Structure 1
Amino acid sequence: MAAPGTPRALAVVVGGGIAGLAAARDLAEAGHEVVVLEAADRVGGKLLRHEVAGALVDVGAEAMLNRRAEGVDLARAVGLEVEHPAVVSSRIHSRGAMRPLPRSLMGVPLDLAALEASGVLSPEGLARAAREVDLPASDLGDPGDPGADVTVGDLVDARFGPEVTDRLVEPLLGGVYSGLAREISARAAVPQLVALAARGSVVTHGGAVPTTYAGPVFAGLSGGMGALPDAVVAAGGLRVRTGTTVRGLRRTPEGLELLLGPTTDPELLRADLVVLATPPAPTARLLADVAPAAASELAAVETASVAVVTLAVRAADAPALAAADTSGFLVPPVERRRIKAATYSFSKWAWVREAGRGLVDGDDVLLLRTSLGRHREERTLQADDAELVAASLSDLHALTGLDARPVDTHVQRWGGGLPQYAVGHVARVARVRTAVAQVPGLAVCGAAYDGVGIPAAVGSAHRAVRELLATRVTWADEAPRGMMEP
């Protein structure tokens, strides 16, 4: 241990998901000794691969935004090959048929002609949506006030009518957040929509939203996103302790002290810097003593549970599926199906299609996945794995005609895996960060703050470390100003 007054270089990151690993990498590059503490028996969080029919495929997150650079930059920095999905469209099952997904901003239509051609809405719903171009700007309060907020669904209902919310916005938000449109914060989840509505017609001003970008919208990794966590650990030379539960955090005159392990065999670990990269509930528990105001805010953040069902079917048994020119489809809640989406991984990713060639007894195999579970619909997941597989196959048969018997299946459950951004979330996050910043050497990051996607989580890690290093003081300097005793 360093002598009093000498800055120590130990930084501890609690949580080995992609945000925690990104923070650990940043800290190591800044010259700190870094320890990552992860309660599970592996790192990666919701990035995970599993063998299905002998192929190693993603059973968690399988893509990241390409237009936001943090995720892609991290993957390339650790030597991984970035791959983009095939240029195939997605569909939406609405009013009894598979229909093209019209150009939109998180389901909010930006092209009324394409919306009409899609057939997603009823004639009445379409007529109501068309009146949006004549509406004045929405009064959403002071744009500089993060507390001036509204739900996505309420904003869309007011401008386009509830059918747009129910049949377009709900399935898109359900795919990203597993949330409910009339409960999710517009400022937190779709800030661009708020900006457009504040100017006037979303459709009129949305015409300026580009339809193409400098590169593809999404990106993945050859071999799966699940390869990223181990690559970050290996490239950064990080010290990782899995199977290590952190039960407490407190301030002492010497720094921050973490209580690890079971009650029967406790361990104390002291550090200069601590980054909490855990979900909101465990983060709230750890902050209870050192930053109670932040703890209270995070304890109020709800989460949604989801399940991913991966199916492997022989291509010969599903010729129509094999010939599909789509990456999959979304299912609005009003359709009352168990699944909320299906992803044709074999069609979307070239590496998945190659992985399925000759996979079972020399036969080509198609790998696809369904997702189930929305916020406040946990009962959907209160079924055993066989029931979730059966529900997925039943819905796939009803919606697409698929009648093939899988050669293998896998069910991955993500309990409480997705934080819900309620109205006022942006202001809540600001309050959390302000409270945490009062504790020298402490920061938070992860999906609970600025976005649930991989680039957003990595971006929150970069921000946490950047702010830590910019404001860091030594504990020897801080203690005389009234350090809280244990």
Structure 2
Amino acid sequence: MSAAHTPSRHVVVIGGGISGLAAAHRLLAGGVRVTLLEASGRLGGKLLAGRIADVPVDLGAESMLARRPEAVELARAVGLGDRLQPPATATAGIWSRGGLRPMPKGHMMGVPGDLAPLAASGVLSDEGVARVARDAELPRTEVGDDVAIGEYVAGRMGREVVDRLVEPLLGGVYAGDPYRISLRAAVPQLFEIARTHRSLIEGVREFQERAAGRQTAAGPVFMGVDGGIGTLPGAVADAVRAAGGEILTNAPVAGLERGPEGWRVVLDGRTLTADAVVLATPASPTARLLAPHARAAADDLASVEYASMALVTLAFRRRDVAGLPAGSGFLVPPVDGRKIKASTFASQKWGWIADAGPDVFVLRTSIGRFGDEEDLGREDAELVALSLADLGEAVGLAASPVESVVTRWDGGLPQYPVGHLARVARVREHVARLPGLRVCGAAYDGVGIPACVSSGRRAADEVLETLTRDTAGDE
């Protein structure tokens, strides 16, 4: 008999972010009984829908990579298929060397595959472009098992391209330091190019030429949701409840205990018994719960570092910002010493925001990155003022917002330093020795929404396989 025919089997999912919700959704499809526990009062983790000036907006992640299917599949499965929307514009700029400049075409996470658009953009100095060109003359660089993306690219092309292109693009994903972030974990396609090609420029160009033939059929690179990506967790939660799953918020877990029949999940004042448990919590609470059972895995997870950041969302009267440039916004290289790290012109990027507030213009900025979090100690009003000052200098914005919302994501983004994949492999090896226990989330296989959904699904599938095997053994 399979797990699909044994609804008495009970799995507890700890953590109500998108990874935990995806795991619960998958487990219910496998026919088991599911209880999801979330320590805070809301679901969704870093996905958060809100409103400003009576316009719906995202106050956390705002888009998902559509070329990876997992998140789009989940959105469709929970009834959001007709609300999926690509960006109205994906043309971004870079505020570099004193001017707002176009993002050069033909790059992979800032690593150029074509020198002509790079030189024409003005993002780099003439000396910086010349240094990039030297890549074609250098012998191949051995990368071994892993290397920091900044270290590798700077060795091939110079620090200027790292500081002014790679760092702002990579920072938009990890809010991290490219001279620490793993090339193999963060940009695996580039790692493969580094392993197999002498010239980095040539390898990136070849990769993009091969990809170009698939782009039209593949559809948009990114996708949003009408009403905000932040509505996805609620839709998944509704689907989980409709399938018979139980969801408890404000339910912090004090500990895990192994029993003869499975696991005991210790809450404040009560204990749940479970045949299996999925830990979909950030690295630190996962380490705490694992420590009595898998000390080596707990130690590895306790070493995971996180970056903090703040999102400053601003609403203006549209007539007051008529002079803003076209496009979806711009990135900011930290090397220039600005306070903001990026700005998104949300009302230009997302048609659903423009439609919901035709007389309102919404934009947002981000402040803070790994190792540069001092400004996050400021009051909300100060972060708004810092954002407005930089926006004034970058795009000439002089209007005052009619409303502002500051959302702080303390410890929001796990860092993937050199050796991250080896660390994850060790954690999974030790956890796999614990019957009926799995881990998932942004700390393992990627911080993007599709990667988190995939991580949750993987944990659920492994649990279902274990329960099926155990049930067959009982027969």
TM-score grouping bracket, smaller chain normalisation: over 0.9
Answering whether residue 225 of structure 2 is matched by residue 221 of structure 1, we say: yes
- Cα deviation for residue 383 of structure 1 reads 0.6
- Cα deviation for residue 273 of structure 1 reads 1.2
**Kept in 2: contact 1:65–1:218 (CA 8 A):** yes
The amino acid across from 2:9 in the alignment is A
Alignment of 1:416-427 (within 5 A): 416-427=411-422
The amino acid across from 1:447 in the alignment is A
Q: Give the aligned partner of residue 111 of structure 1.
A: 114
**Kept in 2: contact 1:254–1:476 (CA 8 A):** no
Q: Give the aligned partner of residue 231 of structure 1.
A: 235
Q: Give the aligned partner of residue 98 of structure 1.
A: 100
- Cα deviation for residue 95 of structure 1 reads 0.5
Answering whether residue 363 of structure 2 is matched by residue 356 of structure 1, we say: no
The amino acid across from 1:463 in the alignment is R
The amino acid across from 2:92 in the alignment is S
Answering whether residue 438 of structure 2 is matched by residue 409 of structure 1, we say: no
Q: Give the aligned partner of residue 481 of structure 1.
A: none
The amino acid across from 1:52 in the alignment is I
Aligned length: 455
**Kept in 2: contact 1:107–1:172 (CA 8 A):** yes
CA distance 1:21–1:69, shift in 2 (3 Å): same
Post-superposition Cα deviations, 1:97-139, rounded to whole Å, max 9, x if no partner, equal: 1111113111111211111111111111111101112222221
**Kept in 1: contact 2:57–2:227 (CA 8 A):** yes
The amino acid across from 1:101 in the alignment is M
Give the whole-Å Cα distance in 1 for the aligned partners of 2:222 and 2:460.
26
SS across alignment from 1:447: coil
Give the whole-Å Cα distance in 1 for the aligned partners of 2:350 and 2:290.
41
Identity of aligned residues (%): 56
Answering whether residue 306 of structure 2 is matched by residue 303 of structure 1, we say: yes
The partner residue of 2:442 within 447, 453, 468 is 447
The partner residue of 1:182 within 179, 183, 189 is 179
**Kept in 2: contact 1:254–1:475 (CA 8 A):** no
The partner residue of 1:243 within 244, 250, 257 is 250
**Kept in 2: contact 1:8–1:272 (CA 8 A):** no
Give the whole-Å Cα distance in 2 for the aligned partners of 1:56 and 1:87.
19
Give the whole-Å Cα distance in 1 for the aligned partners of 2:347 and 2:56.
13
Judge which range, 199-208 or 402-411, deviates more: 199-208
**Kept in 2: contact 1:329–1:343 (CA 8 A):** yes
Give the whole-Å Cα distance in 2 for the aligned partners of 1:91 and 1:380.
24
- Cα deviation for residue 475 of structure 1 reads 9.3
Unaligned runs of 5+ in 1: 1-5, 142-147, 358-363, 479-486
Q: Give the aligned partner of residue 369 of structure 1.
A: 364
The amino acid across from 1:57 in the alignment is V
SS across alignment from 1:246: coil
Answering whether residue 155 of structure 2 is matched by residue 158 of structure 1, we say: yes
Q: Give the aligned partner of residue 62 of structure 2.
A: 62
**Kept in 2: contact 1:253–1:475 (CA 8 A):** no
Q: Give the aligned partner of residue 333 of structure 1.
A: 334
Post-superposition Cα deviations, 1:182-215, rounded to whole Å, max 9, x if no partner, equal: 0111110011111111222121121222243511
- Cα deviation for residue 7 of structure 1 reads 9.1
The amino acid across from 1:408 in the alignment is E
The partner residue of 1:202 within 180, 184, 200 is 200
**Kept in 1: contact 2:138–2:156 (CA 8 A):** yes
- Cα deviation for residue 88 of structure 1 reads 4.0
- Cα deviation for residue 282 of structure 1 reads 0.6
- Cα deviation for residue 315 of structure 1 reads 1.0
**Kept in 2: contact 1:255–1:475 (CA 8 A):** no
Q: Give the aligned partner of residue 169 of structure 2.
A: 172
SS across alignment from 2:272: strand
SS across alignment from 1:93: strand
Post-superposition Cα deviations, 1:256-288, rounded to whole Å, max 9, x if no partner, equal: 111112xxxx32111011100011111111100
**Kept in 1: contact 2:87–2:222 (CA 8 A):** yes
**Kept in 1: contact 2:175–2:370 (CA 8 A):** yes
Judge which range, 250-259 or 63-72, deviates more: 250-259
Give the whole-Å Cα distance in 2 for the aligned partners of 1:476 and 1:294.
29
- Cα deviation for residue 370 of structure 1 reads 0.5
Higher helix fraction: Structure 1 or Structure 2? 2
- Cα deviation for residue 476 of structure 1 reads 12
Give the whole-Å Cα distance in 1 for the aligned partners of 2:372 and 2:154.
22
Q: Give the aligned partner of residue 20 of structure 1.
A: 20
Answering whether residue 146 of structure 2 is matched by residue 149 of structure 1, we say: yes
**Kept in 1: contact 2:276–2:437 (CA 8 A):** yes
Judge which range, 39-48 or 196-205, deviates more: 196-205
**Kept in 2: contact 1:419–1:448 (CA 8 A):** yes
Give the whole-Å Cα distance in 2 for the aligned partners of 1:182 and 1:88.
27
Unaligned runs of 5+ in 2: 1-5
Give the whole-Å Cα distance in 1 for the aligned partners of 2:139 and 2:200.
10
SS across alignment from 2:73: helix
Q: Give the aligned partner of residue 393 of structure 1.
A: 388
Q: What TM-score do you get using the length of structure 2 for normalisation?
A: 0.93
Give the whole-Å Cα distance in 1 for the aligned partners of 2:339 and 2:205.
35
**Kept in 1: contact 2:111–2:204 (CA 8 A):** no
Give the whole-Å Cα distance in 2 for the aligned partners of 1:62 and 1:27.
27
Give the whole-Å Cα distance in 2 for the aligned partners of 1:158 and 1:68.
31
Q: What TM-score do you get using the length of structure 1 for normalisation?
A: 0.91
Q: Give the aligned partner of residue 258 of structure 1.
A: 265
Post-superposition Cα deviations, 1:374-401, rounded to whole Å, max 9, x if no partner, equal: 0022212011111111111111001110
Alignment of 1:75-86 (within 5 A): 75-80=75-80, 81-86=83-88
**Kept in 2: contact 1:7–1:474 (CA 8 A):** no
Post-superposition Cα deviations, 1:392-446, rounded to whole Å, max 9, x if no partner, equal: 1111001110001100000000110100001100011011111110001000011
The amino acid across from 2:348 in the alignment is S
Give the whole-Å Cα distance in 2 for the aligned partners of 1:34 and 1:140.
44
SS across alignment from 2:408: strand
- Cα deviation for residue 352 of structure 1 reads 0.5
Give the whole-Å Cα distance in 1 for the aligned partners of 2:450 and 2:51.
26
Q: Give the aligned partner of residue 361 of structure 1.
A: none
The amino acid across from 1:429 in the alignment is V
